[in-house]
Structure 1
Amino acid sequence: MAAAGRPVVWLFDLDNTLHDASHAAFGLLDEAMNDYIAQALRVDAAQADFLRLDYWRRYGATLLGLERHHGIRAAHFLEHTHRLPDLEQRLRGSPRDRAALRALPGRKFVLTNAPASYAKRVLTALDLADCFEGIVSIEGMRLFGHLRPKPDARMFRVVLARLKLRPAQCVLVEDTLAHQRAARAVGLRTVWMQRYVWRNAHGPEVGARLRRKPAYVYARIRSLSTLATHFLPARAHVRHADP
């Protein structure tokens, strides 16, 4: 780690952190997952919607419940639910993000519960792909044969071991508090990206909770350009106001 204590590795979530997934993808993904569940499990639309939400709330990812309780193959589920033919046309991000990411010192990875093909499409369309050294997607979050996506603390430890990193070197930039809580327990510093969750009816971080910073969150931001103000010496950056 640098002598000044600054982080050298940044782990960025994808959806609702690097782009407005509530607008671009979540509604389409919910529909695709419901259709998949209804066909694969031979249940009606209401039961499919219930199972999707129930497994997401219980396990942090609908796929875990389907794999554990119904033997659904992860690769088959991910391929069929993430086709999203109109995704690129629906994507919305911040035009300042590319400059902010390229100016931010240190290694950068995307850490997402989404499949790699989807993550690559999003990053390419937003012109952010070359800002990152790599992508850790849900396909790489399997431990002893079992999927362990965020917020599973074991996954964070495994990812750090693969990348040969110490937790104190890393900062996780995320929109989801449950993921930050698990990461902080492992020893990472955490940043709560709130740009998109203010208007996100899909996730749990809504309303008054956005006005409080939990103890396990190091900083709250609404723009990637302000990351440097929290972690780097004043002379190392020029502060930008949040949009």
Structure 2
Amino acid sequence: MTITTHAQHWLFDLDDTLHHAGAAVFPMINEYMTRYICHYVGVGRTEADRLRTDYWARYGATLAGLQRHHGIAPQHFLKQTHPMESLLPLIETGTQLPLWLKRLPGRKWVFSNGPQHYVEAIVRHLGIETQIEGCFGMDSFGFTPKPRVAAYTSVLRQAGIHAGNCIMVEDSAANLKTAKRLGMRTAWLSHQCRKPSWVDWRITSLFDLQRI
């Protein structure tokens, strides 16, 4: 039985799944976050870098730590650290992605820890907005990041879909672990040879989904 036989709904991560963010986009966002922490938390650059990475590792998102420990307003932080006029020119377009998504059976959704304005802008920039049923950025699920269960249940409820009818596609194995616990099928976009027990399929390219 093929992977597409199971899929009524696809939940796609955005960064480093639907587009490559690691080379240019993430470093720029990290720089904006470090500057923000310096200014609004009132620490030096070295400490700001440490807090940014520590909160991301501990809570799944830097914002979660800044909210918990420093009372940072989430909307202000996300707007200041994700300026689309600077980020969009770094994201490659003109790929096979729009046509490939059109040919992939099932309904498609984007589920990202990025802010809503960022997710929607990149989906438009990639030219895939007509293939996507809906976009879910962190604003839309209460600023509670993946891999926390509340983020997934909020998205499923808003989309009106059942976990058992979903395949989640992610570059983060940790995020897929929660998806599997909730009853989803899981596809891990990774070049690692070994896959965790909660991953149903390991792929090295999105286009592998139709060939499994």
TM more than 0.5: yes
Which AA in structure 1 matches 2:170? E
Q: Unaligned stretches of 5+ in structure 2?
A: none
- Post-superposition shift, 1:53? 0.4
Give the 3-state SS of the residue equivalent to 1:11 in structure 2. strand
Question: What is residue 109 of structure 2 aligned with on the other side?
Answer: 109
- Post-superposition shift, 1:165? 1.6
Question: What is residue 163 of structure 1 aligned with on the other side?
Answer: 159
Which AA in structure 2 matches 1:63? L
Question: What is residue 236 of structure 1 aligned with on the other side?
Answer: none
Question: What is residue 32 of structure 1 aligned with on the other side?
Answer: 32
Question: What is residue 173 of structure 2 aligned with on the other side?
Answer: 177
- Post-superposition shift, 1:94? 7.4
Over residues 154-178 of structure 1, what are the superposed CA-to-partner deviations in whole Å (9 max), with x where a residue is unaligned?
2212221222222110011000111
Which AA in structure 2 matches 1:11? L
CA contact 1:113–1:150 (8 Å) conserved in 2? yes
CA contact 1:101–1:224 (8 Å) conserved in 2? no
CA contact 1:20–1:93 (8 Å) conserved in 2? no
CA contact 2:93–2:125 (8 Å) conserved in 1? no
User: In angstroms, what is the RMSD of aligned CA positions?
Assistant: 1.6
Q: Which runs of 4+ in 1 moved over 6 A?
A: none
Q: Percent same amino acid at aligned positions?
A: 38
Mapped partners of 1:178, 1:89: distance in 2: 30
Does residue 190 in structure 1 map to residue 172 in structure 2? no
CA contact 2:101–2:131 (8 Å) conserved in 1? yes
Question: What is residue 47 of structure 1 aligned with on the other side?
Answer: 47
TM-score (norm. length: structure 2): 0.93
Question: What is residue 241 of structure 1 aligned with on the other side?
Answer: none
CA contact 1:109–1:135 (8 Å) conserved in 2? yes
Superposition map of 1:120-135 within 5 A: 120-135=120-135
TM-score (norm. length: structure 1): 0.82
Question: What is residue 138 of structure 2 aligned with on the other side?
Answer: 138
- Post-superposition shift, 1:226? 2.1
Give the 3-state SS of the residue equivalent to 2:43 in structure 1. coil
CA contact 1:11–1:173 (8 Å) conserved in 2? yes
Of the three residues 138, 150, 159, the one matched with 2:146 is: 150
Which AA in structure 2 matches 1:229? R
